[in-house]
Amino acid sequence: TRFAFTAGPVASTMYQKVSGNSSSGDYRIGASAGFLLDVPMQKGGSFQPGINFVTKGMRGDVSQGSQTGTLKTNFNYLEVTLDVIFRIKHNGNNFIVGGGAVPSLPISGKSIADVGNAQSKTSLSFGDKTTDDYNGTDFGANGLVGYEFANGFFTTLNYYYGFNRQFVGGDPKDKLYHRYFSLKLGYFLPFSKKK
């Protein structure tokens, strides 16, 4: 079993379907950081549980009276990744491919509206009450491809697909889900084999 740190940029958006109309927000750039364990399962495969801090959200347009501007919605989440990965040997290194489940909890959130020369910020609340802005949990699936180097460094391209409706109350037919791409750079700490 090995231990690794990871970090990298995130490009996130949100998919919504309201009153039968589907749309996605513009991508916003954020970051992720965390760690994982690599637990061998069989030859060429591993179970990789991990914990990540990740920023999600989206960008969109907003109007106030005759003025238009930009609305950025920012979320900070703590994710638990439960991935299974497989390795394909390549010149002493490894191609990797895998995926798994990702439950997560929100830490904080805010919306920032830039209209004209004014900026307004609003803190967001999470829970299951009608007074809350967004759902208190998120759940999705993670798919990844990447490359591991023999010196312990690795990189992965991940895609997160959220399944948990983020609207609280309202018409149950109205949907809102998180989506994001992330590029992770990581390093496995060296370890000594038992003699």
% of the chain beyond a pLDDT of 90: 71
Q: Considering only residues 61 and 87, tell me which one the structure prediction assigns the higher pLDDT.
A: 87
Task: Report the alpha-carbon distance of residue 182 to residue 29 in Å, rounded.
Answer: 10
Task: Report the alpha-carbon distance of residue 5 to residue 35 in Å, rounded.
Answer: 4
pTM: 0.89
Cβ–Cβ under 8 Å, residues 77 and 105:
yes
Computed over every residue of the chain, the mean pLDDT equals: 91
Q: What does the pLDDT average to over 28-57?
A: 94
Task: Report the alpha-carbon distance of residue 135 to residue 124 in Å, rounded.
Answer: 11
Q: What does the pLDDT average to over 160-189?
A: 93
Task: Report the alpha-carbon distance of residue 179 to residue 169 in Å, rounded.
Answer: 21
| pLDDT tens-place string over residues 105-164 | 999 999 988 887 778 889 999 998 888 999 999 999 999 999 999 999 999 999 999 999
